[in-house]
Chains A and B, each alone.
Chain A
Amino acid sequence: MSGSQAHLPRLLALVPYLLARPGAHVAEVAEVFGVSEKRLRADLDLLWVCGLPGHGPGDLIDLELSGDTVTLFEPAGVTRPLRLTVDEALALVVALRALAETPGLDERDAVDRVLAKVERVAGAAARSADRVEVALADEAAVLPVVQDALDRGRLLHLSYHVAARDETTERDVDPMRLLLVEGRSYLEAWCRRAEGVRLFRLDRVEGAQVLEAPAAPPAAAEQRDLSEGLFQPSPEHTLVTLALRPGAHWVADYHPCETVEQGEDGELVVGLRTPATEWVRRLALRLGAQGRVLAPATLATQVRDDARAALSAYGP
């Protein structure tokens, strides 16, 4: 959006917002509207000179700034916010519908009620929301158990499958929060075995038991910032380089890559960082002719040895 295209909607919302909240704090209003306090004060100065035709003293928007608070007395007819646009109605209605069918959500009832209200006020604008759907996740059988541990603040025992090593592990974890990211449910918890914050995919939890002991994540356990995605590579991790033929280009979509370059013959050369290379070994096996490990060399050798061992079982 260009400056004025974002600016006018802000002002049209600001007038009824202030009208509904006499004595609002300028700093809080600025935060709600996502602008600096300076910017907000400039907006208020602008409102001040706008108003009904004639633009006499009684026609203009009237407000009073006193110290840190602002009170709007005269809205010049802008008493209500503008209706939702089609895009706004769509984004909100689809998000609420997705929430409404999220398994294990405590707020389900409230979501249903607010959805009905939003659909009503959006009116015709909500129509195209029927053509956008979000299926968040399948019902995970262990979800109620995990939810229970979180609600009651208890330690949780997990039998958890580590796909990279194809191995099931037993561990006690201090649950922190449940997340639904990119279509999968995860438990974020302090793992007492790994002594670190871990994300556990619920569809890989084989069994979960709520224990009597209270959950007590250490003060050092911090929630991950997920704004950059689930997996955050670190420069200390091993750098793996793969050459991907077209049948394996999906790998570049699927895994966060540090570098993606066009190689020869339609190959993509990707570099990715990983703390453990076991899953890359499995990936390289399944890719067969479609992929090659370029580095590290030891990994390339391992893949070839694995393939040779597996192939021998199929006979000559």
Chain B
Amino acid sequence: MAAKKTERLLNLVICLLATRRYLSVQEIREAVPGYTEDGPTEEAFRRMFERDKAELRELGIPLETGSLTAAFDDEPGYRIARRDYELPELVLEPDEAAALGLAARLWQSAPLAGATGSALLKIRAAGVDAPEASGALEPRVGASEPAFEPCLQAVRDRQVVRFGYRAMGRTAPEDREVEPWGVVSWRGRWYLVGHDRVRGQERVFRLSRVVGTVAAVGEPGAVVVPDGVDLRALVARTAADAPVTTARVRLRAGAGWALRREATATTPDGEGWDVVEVGYSDPERFADRVTGYGADALVLSPQDARDAVVRRLRALVDA
């Protein structure tokens, strides 16, 4: 049955590609064997043809609709314009084909991995041979967040989305309605950038914090991405948070490598200890970084960062 359907669809594509003028539905019915065999009723044939049209369009086949005669506004006819259907001429040098092969291996997960695979197949069908990439460097990008696929689709279709989002440090997810501008992979994590309709502001959402399903709302094409939006810069600002204050931390010699690396000043402080100065923006996040060093690190100032560390330690001692 499935093979029969594929056969019918293939014959339909061949038929519509071959015609220059629009073919009426009846002409198509007579020309494509699958529509005449088993003698379906007119109604059954119409339903079948509607489904087939939808399927071809879903595959990206440019099915054109036009009037059969100039004089009458009657039933439309169909054809596939060759120039819209065919992949344009593409000739690749061997090193370019190898680079393409490397790019094709970048995506680690669906849906992008699948889309790259079928794109590559079309390019190979155009006569390009893609050898195995030989480069020593192998970039890989995954997208395991369940919210990734619906968000990518919403970005592609410029459609508003609604989802539950668990903000940093919150227990309960909150409902968000977002006009998506783009998705960005930043340091191995995916983010959605867009206009948060509830808050009336541009916002960056980490996709791993999306709870439950992402629902598309309203019509495709409704979202207007403002000119000059720098998606990556917006994500970088959220993800990196630029320092606004400087902390002084007493570190045991040899310990606290990550803090030392960022230190703007390091001064010895007695036998086997140093005092380093490190910038931060949020005392809680800064405490996250310091507390792991245990007794090897002591925040001297400011008070808010000191308190944040003490709170973590006391909770553990009192537990």
Q: Which A residues have a C-beta under 8 Å from some C-beta of B?
A: 3-5, 7-17, 20-21, 32-34, 42, 46-47, 49-55, 76-92, 94-96, 98-99, 102, 104-107, 109-111, 113-114, 117-118, 120-121, 123, 125, 128, 130-137, 147, 150-151, 161, 163, 166-168, 177-184, 226-227, 229, 246-247, 249-250, 253, 266, 281-289, 292, 303-304, 306-314
Q: Which of A4, A81, A281 contacts B122 (CB 8 A)?
A: A81
A182 to chain B: which residues have CB within 8 Å?
Answer: 140-142, 187-188
Min CB gap B154→A, angstroms? 10
Q: Which of A4, A54, A107 contacts B55 (CB 8 A)?
A: A4
B316 to chain A: which residues have CB within 8 Å?
Answer: 284-285, 288-289, 303-304, 307
Could you pull out 24 A-B pairs where Cβ atoms are within 8 angstroms?
A9-B121, A13-B124, A16-B127, A50-B10, A78-B17, A79-B86, A82-B87, A84-B122, A85-B115, A86-B60, A87-B156, A88-B116, A89-B119, A92-B103, A96-B103, A117-B90, A131-B183, A132-B182, A166-B257, A181-B188, A226-B140, A285-B293, A289-B316, A310-B291
B215 contacts chain A at the CB level, 8 A cutoff: no
Contact B184 A134 (CB under 8 A): yes
Q: Which of A79, A135, A310 contacts B295 (CB 8 A)?
A: A310
A120 to chain B: which residues have CB within 8 Å?
Answer: 88
Contact A314 B185 (CB under 8 A): no
A179 to B208, CA, bound (A): 23
A102 to chain B: which residues have CB within 8 Å?
Answer: 137, 139
Contact B15 A52 (CB under 8 A): yes
A282 to chain B: which residues have CB within 8 Å?
Answer: 292-294
Q: Which B residues have a C-beta under 8 Å from some C-beta of A?
A: 2-3, 5-7, 9-11, 13-15, 17-18, 30-33, 55, 58-62, 84-90, 92-93, 95-100, 102-104, 106-108, 111-113, 115-127, 133, 135-142, 152, 155-156, 166, 168-171, 181-189, 208, 225, 231-232, 235-236, 254-258, 287-289, 291-298, 306, 309-317, 319
Contact B138 A180 (CB under 8 A): yes
A91 to B102, CA, bound (A): 13
Contact A95 B107 (CB under 8 A): yes
With CB as the reference atom, state the residue of chain B lying closest to A34: B117
A102 to B312, CA, bound (A): 39
A281 to B141, CA, bound (A): 29
Q: A96-B103, A121-B90 are in contact. Are A14 and B125 (CB under 8 A)?
A: yes
Most A-side CB within 10 Å, residue of B9, B86, B119, B126? B119
Contact A289 B14 (CB under 8 A): no
Min CB gap A68→B, angstroms? 19
A267 to B90, CA, bound (A): 55
Most B-side CB within 10 Å, residue of A137, A167, A286? A286
Q: Which of A50, A53, A107 contacts B98 (CB 8 A)?
A: A107
Contact B183 A132 (CB under 8 A): yes
Contact A77 B14 (CB under 8 A): yes
Contact A17 B103 (CB under 8 A): no
Contact B166 A88 (CB under 8 A): no
With CB as the reference atom, state the residue of chain A lying closest to B126: A81
Contact B257 A84 (CB under 8 A): no
Q: A99-B103, A113-B93 are in contact. Are A82 and B122 (CB under 8 A)?
A: yes
Q: Which of A8, A16, A150 contacts B10 (CB 8 A)?
A: A8
A284 to B138, CA, bound (A): 34
A102 to B296, CA, bound (A): 37
Q: A246-B170, A288-B315, A288-B316 are in contact. Are A133 and B291 (CB under 8 A)?
A: no
Contact B122 A13 (CB under 8 A): yes
Min CB gap A16→B, angstroms? 5
A131 to chain B: which residues have CB within 8 Å?
Answer: 155-156, 181-183, 225, 231
With CB as the reference atom, state the residue of chain B lying closest to A128: B156
Min CB gap A113→B, angstroms? 5
Contact A183 B186 (CB under 8 A): yes
